[in-house]
Amino acid sequence: MRRLLFVLAATCLVVPTTLAQTPASGKTTTSWTCAAPNPANALPVGDEPNHLYVVEQVKCSATKGEIAGVKEKEGTATEFAEVTGDTSKGHGVFVETLANGDKAFVSYTFTGASKNKVMVSGSNKWTMTGGTGMLKGVKGNGTCTAKGNADGTANYECSGSYTLGK
């Protein structure tokens, strides 16, 4: 009996330690409202009409979502786009701030459609590459879909999964 109690006690001590060493992982579903790009710098390429290279920055606020139980708050996207007529494609980095001040670094590639130089719709694939605080060493990936508004703002619906670093 004494040996059984010892084995149970040892198991109770080892299991929590093993679980604590396993990185936390989860899924995230986030909604973002983003302002019109500002600044936005466009340069005509010159090889055909309406072919531009654009560097822009976009400020966003989370309206829903959390990572590891901490609410997502805001973020800034800095991106490069190649625009040909009413279509665009490009890449960027999104620096997201959680409610506790920790940051996530997210690289993404995107495609979009516009009308009268205002985004109508778009989508992206993202990869979480690191962060600060509890997000140090985080890895993750997912997708977003976007709907543009007449005033140049946009709404994003994003989902994906992540694993926190050790």
Q: What is the DSSP secondary-structure string of 120-160?
A: EEEEEEEEEEEESGGGTT-EEEEEEEEEE-TTS-EEEEEEE
**Distance from CA of residue 147 to its chain's centroid?**
16
- Please report the pLDDT score of residue 24 as a whole number: 86
- Res. 7 pLDDT band, cuts 50 70 90: very low
- Please report the pLDDT score of residue 27 as a whole number: 95
Residue 8, pLDDT above cutoff 80? no
- Res. 10 pLDDT band, cuts 50 70 90: very low
Residue 49, pLDDT above cutoff 50? yes
Domains along the sequence of the chain with CATH: 24-163 (2.40.350.10)
- Res. 117 pLDDT band, cuts 50 70 90: confident
The candidate with the shortest Cα–Cα distance to 34, out of 162, 114, 165, 151, is: 151
Pairing, β 51-64 against β 66-67: unpaired
- Please report the pLDDT score of residue 144 as a whole number: 98
Percentage of residues in the chain having pLDDT higher than 90: 82
Residue 88, pLDDT above cutoff 70? yes
Higher pLDDT, 118 or 101: 101
Mean pLDDT rounded to a whole number for the chain: 88
- Please report the pLDDT score of residue 23 as a whole number: 57
